[in-house]
Amino acid sequence: MKTIIEPFKIKTVEPIKFTTLAEREAVLKRAFYNPFLIRADDVLIDLLTDSGTSATGAKQWAGIMDGDEAYAGSRSYFRFEKVIQDLTGFKHIIPTHQGRAAEKILFTIVGGKGKFIPNNTHFDTTRANIESSGAEAIDLPTEEGKKPGIIADFKGNMNVEGLRAFIEKTGAGNIPLCMITVTNNSGGGQPVSMANIRETKKLLEGYGIPLFLDACRFAENAFFIKKREPGYSNKSFREIAREMFSYADGCTMSAKKDALVNMGGFLALNDDTLAANARNLLIVTEGFTTYRGLAGRDLEAIAQGLEEVLDEYYLTQVDRLVRKG
């Protein structure tokens, strides 16, 4: 047995409630055996989701206390914007209250009846927002990605030849953008290789179709690229993440995952017209353009979380915990 040493000190603990078997049976019955109807106070170990469940670091708490709550022009927004621009290289950074809000804005603009959005595998909210616009969400996982019994390094990859065939059949004019989800959440959380992202981008460029990343778990995807893909073992996680984003024209992100916060997200874009349309829609759904549905303290926490998540020791500990589990 190997002891896992956490790369942090624990300064605060939160009490949890223990229940008897009879009490748990009664709780389940009252909730009609639906986990979403169970009160959190009655749950000892909560495995419902990994979204928004991260503990918040000391520097994030410092940022929360220092958050600028100005309605317009908040300094917390400008820090948020700079951190994400430095990480992703995208020009326009639009915060939202969570990832699905970024998806709603994006697909309201580019979606619609007769449109198709291919992806390695759509997350459920992504699919819902695409289909609510009238467009159709198309999953194109690899064959090995469909088979749980197969062990492979990058089972989350896009089926590039399947994508090529789909574009030829459907017509590039009916595909406003293509997405790759990193890691492939609905495909078992499997990683996507840099080579696959690069190959997908090259194919799409030939048809004039933009590539977007669903970047909820970009840091963990960078970890697997470093550990498994030839040519990346000596690169930092930040360098790998920046290369991943460099092949994309934009991204959506739920910050409730790899930004290590309990609420927040963003839409990032390079296209000026698309960004202007997104901001106009954002004002009527999320809020003014420099806070967009988030408090200044949330913007500070996201910015700090994005700087901390690429720490080598943190990502290594996450991997070890999963393997040990």
Taking Cα atoms as reference points, which of 203, 248, 209 lies closest to residue 221?
248
Q: Residue 161 sits in a domain of what CATH number?
A: 3.40.640.10
Contact 135, 115 (CB under 8 A): yes
Give the CA radius of gyration of the chain. 20
Span between the terminal Cα atoms of the chain, in Å: 12
The residue count of the chain comes to 325
Give me the pLDDT at residue 141, please. 96
Kindly state whether residue 294 falls inside one of the protein's structural domains: yes
- Tokens of residue 276, six digits: 């202007």
**Could you tell me if residue 283 is inside a domain?**
yes
- 90 in any annotated domain: yes
Which residues of the chain, if any, have pLDDT below 50? Answer: 325
Whole-number pLDDT of residue 224:
95
The answer as to whether 41 is a domain residue is: no
In this predicted structure, what is the pLDDT of residue 153?
94
pLDDT of residue 36: 92
Residue 39, domain member (yes or no): no
* Structural domain harbouring 72: 58-324
The model's pLDDT over 65-84, given as tens digits with 9 standing for 90+, comes to 999 999 888 999 999 999 99
Over residues 74-133, the pLDDT tens digits come to 999 999 999 999 999 999 999 999 999 999 999 999 999 999 999 999 999 999 999 999
129 belongs to a structural domain: yes
Task: Say what the pLDDT of residue 220 is.
Answer: 94
Residue 210 is encoded by which pair of tokens? 């933009």
Give a yes or no: residue 43 inside a domain: no
Classify residue 3 as exposed, middle or buried by CB count within 10 Å of its CB (0-12, 13-18, 19+): exposed
- Count of H helices and E strands in the chain? 12, 7
Angstrom CA distances, 248 to 41, 214, 277, 323, stand at: 42, 10, 19, 31
Q: What is the pLDDT of residue 190?
A: 93
Total count of domains within the chain: 1
Q: Is residue 35 part of a domain?
A: no
pLDDT of residue 51: 81
Residue 324 is predicted with a pLDDT of 54
